[in-house]
């Protein structure tokens, strides 16, 4: 029962973390290696607004999400747009960006165990005989909601359809009058907002530390690679796969192995089937 309940919680958290990465890559083919940095930035922004500036908690969370979204969009607009299409340069530039942000934050003084956010609601409840605190339940509910809303957004709204059109065929989308640069900007903005959303949901469960940025990046990449880069359904499914695998290894082997599972999942998936479970890439584009 422990495994089932915490597996589901862990899986939903992973899905939340990975959706932003999957969104950006799915739409603009841009591997956003600054994802983890944006996640941590959102956490520290919320902390600064709520704790240091004393603004209402909910309001500061929304502000942090908005600011992170704008930040992501600016990163795209002023930096990444210039190297768009050169995959390796994209990776190096965005990774360097993330590194600069994370280490900058560390230098600025955001380190140690002092930065925490309060959970939304205190207390816990028994679910299937396992004690689960309300906050984790809330994460599951909101996470499932986000996946649903994202699905509706990309399948029903005009912008969502335009984004999907660009993901499927950028040239055809351009021909139909969809401004691909603007859409990629939007995607990067939304992706960063999703990173921020997962940050404000998940960070109250632990401390806000800079190292978390690197772990989040690895987890996001793991989920997206296993699910297939560019496939959102695949990402959600892969989140469950990795989520349960992590919980099972933690129960039977110890918590040291949590990240090993994610990293090995990346390596093994790339070796066996680089397009992942639901990837749409053609075989020859990824391996010889």
Partner 1 sequence: MAEQRRKERIDRGIKVRADSIYALMSLKEISYLTLPRLILIVGFLLLPILMPSAYWQRVISITCIYALLALSFDFLAHYVGLVSLGGAFFIGVGAYIAAVGNTSLGLPIYLTIPLATLGGGLICTLLLLPCLPLRGVYFAIVTLMYPLAMARIIEALDIFGGTDGIMGVASFPVWWIEQYFVILALLGFLFGMRRLVNEDIGLVFRAVKDNDQAVRASGINITYYKALAVFIASAMGCLGGACLTHIYMWAGISQFALDFSILPIAATVIGGGGTLAGPVLGCLILVPISELLRAFGTLRIVFYAAVLMGFVVFRSEGLMVYGERKYHQFERWVKV
Enumerate binding residues for partner 1 (CB under 8 A).
Answer: 31, 79-80, 82-83, 87-89, 91-93, 95-97, 99-100, 103-104, 106-107, 214, 218, 221, 225, 254, 256-257, 259-260, 263-264, 266-267, 270-271, 274, 285-288
Minimum CB–partner distance for residue 253 and partner 1 (Å): 8
Q: 112, 108, 94: which is closest to 35 by C-alpha?
A: 94
Nearest to partner 1 of 132, 270 (CB atom):
270
Nearest to partner 1 of 15, 224 (CB atom):
224
Return the number of other C-beta atoms located less than 10 Å from residue 20's C-beta: 30
Nearest to partner 1 of 174, 259 (CB atom):
259
Minimum CB–partner distance for residue 95 and partner 1 (Å): 8
Cβ within 8 Å of residue 81, ≥6 positions away: 181, 184, 185
Minimum CB–partner distance for residue 92 and partner 1 (Å): 5
Cβ within 8 Å of residue 76, ≥6 positions away: 30, 184, 185, 188, 189
Minimum CB–partner distance for residue 89 and partner 1 (Å): 5
Nearest to partner 1 of 49, 266 (CB atom):
266
Nearest to partner 1 of 123, 254 (CB atom):
254
Minimum CB–partner distance for residue 27 and partner 1 (Å): 16
Minimum CB–partner distance for residue 86 and partner 1 (Å): 9
What tokens were used for 172? 């055809």
Nearest to partner 1 of 78, 175 (CB atom):
78
Q: 206, 247, 216, 16: which is closest to 118 by C-alpha?
A: 206
Tell me the C-alpha distance between 143 and 13, whole Å. Answer: 7
Minimum CB–partner distance for residue 225 and partner 1 (Å): 7
Tell me the C-alpha distance between 195 and 15, whole Å. Answer: 11
Q: 195, 198, 186: which is closest to 10 by C-alpha?
A: 198
Q: Burial level of 270, CB count in 10 A (0-12/13-18/19+)?
A: middle
Tell me the C-alpha distance between 50 and 29, whole Å. Answer: 35
Q: 236 with 227: CB under 8 angstroms?
A: yes
Nearest to partner 1 of 184, 201 (CB atom):
184
């Amino acid at each position: 029962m422990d495994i089932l309940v915490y597996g589901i919680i862990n899986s939903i958290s992973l899905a939340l973390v990975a959706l932003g990465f999957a969104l950006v890559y799915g739409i603009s083919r841009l591997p956003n290696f600054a994802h983890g940095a944006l996640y941590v930035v959102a956490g520290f922004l919320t902390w600064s607004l709520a704790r240091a500036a004393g603004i209402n908690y909910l309001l500061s969370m929304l502000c942090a999400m908005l600011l992170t979204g704008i930040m992501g969009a600016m990163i795209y607009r002023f930096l990444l747009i210039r190297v768009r299409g050169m995959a390796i340069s994209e990776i190096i530039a965005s990774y360097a960006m993330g590194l600069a942000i994370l280490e900058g934050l560390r230098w600025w003084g955001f380190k140690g165990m002092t930065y925490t956010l309060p959970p939304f609601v205190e207390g816990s409840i028994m679910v299937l005989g396992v004690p689960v605190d309300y906050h984790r339940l809330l994460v599951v509910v909101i996470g499932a909601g986000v996946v649903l809303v994202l699905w509706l957004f990309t399948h029903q709204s005009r912008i969502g359809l335009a984004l999907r059109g660009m993901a499927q065929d950028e040239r055809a989308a351009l021909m139909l009058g969809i401004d691909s640069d603007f859409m990629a900007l939007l995607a990067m903005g939304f992706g960063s907002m999703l990173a921020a959303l997962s940050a404000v949901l998940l960070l109250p469960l632990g401390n806000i530390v800079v190292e978390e940025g690197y772990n989040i990046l690895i987890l996001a990449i793991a989920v997206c690679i296993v699910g297939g880069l560019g496939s959102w359904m695949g990402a959600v499914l892969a989140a469950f796969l990795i989520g349960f695998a992590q919980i099972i290894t933690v129960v039977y082997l110890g918590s040291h192995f949590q990240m090993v599972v994610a990293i090995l999942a990346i390596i093994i998936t790339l070796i066996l089937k680089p397009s992942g479970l639901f990837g749409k890439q053609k075989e020859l584009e990824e391996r010889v």
